[in-house]
């Protein structure tokens, strides 16, 4: 592959509103080898109305005794915590990212010098939000769950009109069900995203396990985003569909291996296998003792290993010629 896949370890709200847990997640993401650790920034009252219901997976994981707003109040960090998390990331040597979910959060994160704005799937149809991101400038990574292609195109056009060129927009194919059923993953949808001619295409994964994001890299994904948690048994909406730190590290290792294995579109002999040519290929050899002056025929020559003699592809050129010397049984024929 021409460039390194960007791996985003999605901490999200798996810190459950606890700053110390969030800090530990920074260390865990760094230890796993991720390029970025990403959080979610929101003022819950600005994002969720008091009548908004929970998603079904949220009900399954957290119960139905509280509203979506009450749940999010409990698991989000205050805006004042993100500056410290960004500074910790700089000290640890891992990139800091956070997804803003409202206009105030955009302003908060704008002061933290992030490499990318991350737009979540749910904000693709939020025109004021998209315009504000565009006005801030910089590069954008946008998830595209729950979207038709025309909705994604419309969002890209808003960003482009606001001053962000398409080359600075990365689109992530995504399915927002936690966990995503394998039958709904549809990695080939990345090909549809490529028709929008943005800077890059990647994949944000909510399946169980690591095989799907690894497969996405093999299919050309340039950015991978995956939720992780310190403990899958913790209360909260996203822990069960997340990787633990050991699984995150395994995913990073697998992706780095696939990066190397993908290679180029050219077919050629690799350095590691070149020495095997003489071992595995065959040459024209004497099928019995051959005396000088004898004619080479189908009966007195054959094909055997090793492959450092005359190639069997020259068989027709050898048949009918005369031996210039004696050739013992199994010896390489030479002309």
Q: Which pLDDT score, from 0 to 100, does residue 59 have?
A: 84
Q: Closest by alpha carbon to 112, among 132, 136, 128, 130?
A: 136
- Phi then psi dihedrals of residue 151, to 5 deg: -70, -40
| pLDDT, position 244 | 97
User: Which two three-digit tokens encode residue 71?
Assistant: 């749940």
The domains located in the chain, with CATH, are: 6-262 (3.20.20.70), 269-335 (3.90.1210.10)
SS3 of 303, please?
strand
Name beta bridge partners: 118: 141
Instruction: Please count the CA atoms within 13 angstroms of the CA of 201 that sit on its side-chain side.
Output: 21
Q: Which residues have C-beta within 8 Å of that of residue 251, sequence separation ≥ 6?
A: 7, 32, 210, 213, 214, 224, 226, 243
Q: Which two tokens stand for residue 62?
A: 């957290």
Q: What is the pLDDT, as a whole number, of residue 232?
A: 95
Q: What is the phi/psi pair of residue 107, to 5°?
A: -65, -40
How far is it, in rounded angstroms, from Cα 335 to Cα 326? 12
- What pLDDT does residue 236 have? 87
Task: Tell me what pLDDT residue 212 has.
Answer: 98
- What is the pLDDT, as a whole number, of residue 1? 43
Cα–Cα dist 304/190, whole Å? 48
pTM here is: 0.91
Segments of the chain scoring below 50 in pLDDT: 1
Strand pairing of 200-205 and 223-227? parallel
Q: Give the rounded distance of the alpha carbon of 288 from its chain centre.
A: 58
* pLDDT reported for residue 2: 52
**Cβ contact 152:196 at 8 Å:** yes
Closest-CA residue to 297 (of 281, 314, 316): 316
């Amino acid at each position: 592959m021409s460039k390194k896949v960007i791996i985003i370890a999605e901490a999200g709200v798996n810190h459950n509103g606890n700053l110390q847990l969030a800090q530990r997640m920074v260390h865990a993401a760094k230890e796993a080898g991720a390029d970025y650790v990403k959080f979610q920034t929101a003022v819950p009252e600005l994002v969720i109305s008091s009548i908004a219901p929970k998603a079904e997976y949220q009900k399954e994981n957290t119960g139905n005794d509280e509203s979506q707003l009450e749940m999010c109040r409990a698991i989000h960090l205050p805006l004042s915590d993100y500056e410290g998390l960004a500074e910790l990331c700089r000290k640890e040597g891992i990139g800091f990212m956070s997804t803003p979910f409202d206009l105030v959060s955009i302003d908060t994160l704008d002061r933290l010098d992030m490499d990318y704005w991350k737009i979540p799937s749910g904000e693709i149809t939020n025109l004021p939000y998209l315009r504000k991101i565009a006005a801030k400038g910089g590069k954008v990574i946008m998830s595209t769950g729950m979207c038709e292609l025309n909705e994604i195109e419309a969002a890209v056009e808003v960003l482009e009109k606001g001053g962000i060129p398409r080359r600075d927009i990365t689109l992530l194919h995504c399915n927002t069900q936690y966990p995503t059923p394998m039958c709904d993953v549809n990695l080939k949808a990345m090909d549809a995203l490529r028709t929008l001619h943005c800077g890059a295409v990647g994949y944000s994964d909510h399946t169980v396990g690591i095989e799907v994001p690894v497969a996405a890299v093999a299919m050309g994904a340039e950015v991978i985003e995956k939720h992780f948690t310190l403990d899958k048994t913790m209360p909260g909406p996203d822990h069960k569909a997340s990787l633990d730190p050991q699984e995150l590290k395994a995913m990073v290792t697998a992706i780095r291996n696939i990066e190397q294995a993908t290679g180029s579109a050219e077919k050629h002999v690799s350095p590691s296998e070149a020495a095997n040519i003489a071992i595995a290929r065959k040459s024209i050899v004497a099928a019995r003792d051959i005396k000088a002056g004898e004619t080479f025929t189908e009966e007195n020559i054959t094909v055997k290993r090793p492959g450092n003699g005359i190639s069997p592809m020259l068989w027709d050129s050898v048949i009918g010629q005369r031996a210039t010397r004696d050739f013992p049984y199994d010896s390489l024929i030479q002309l």
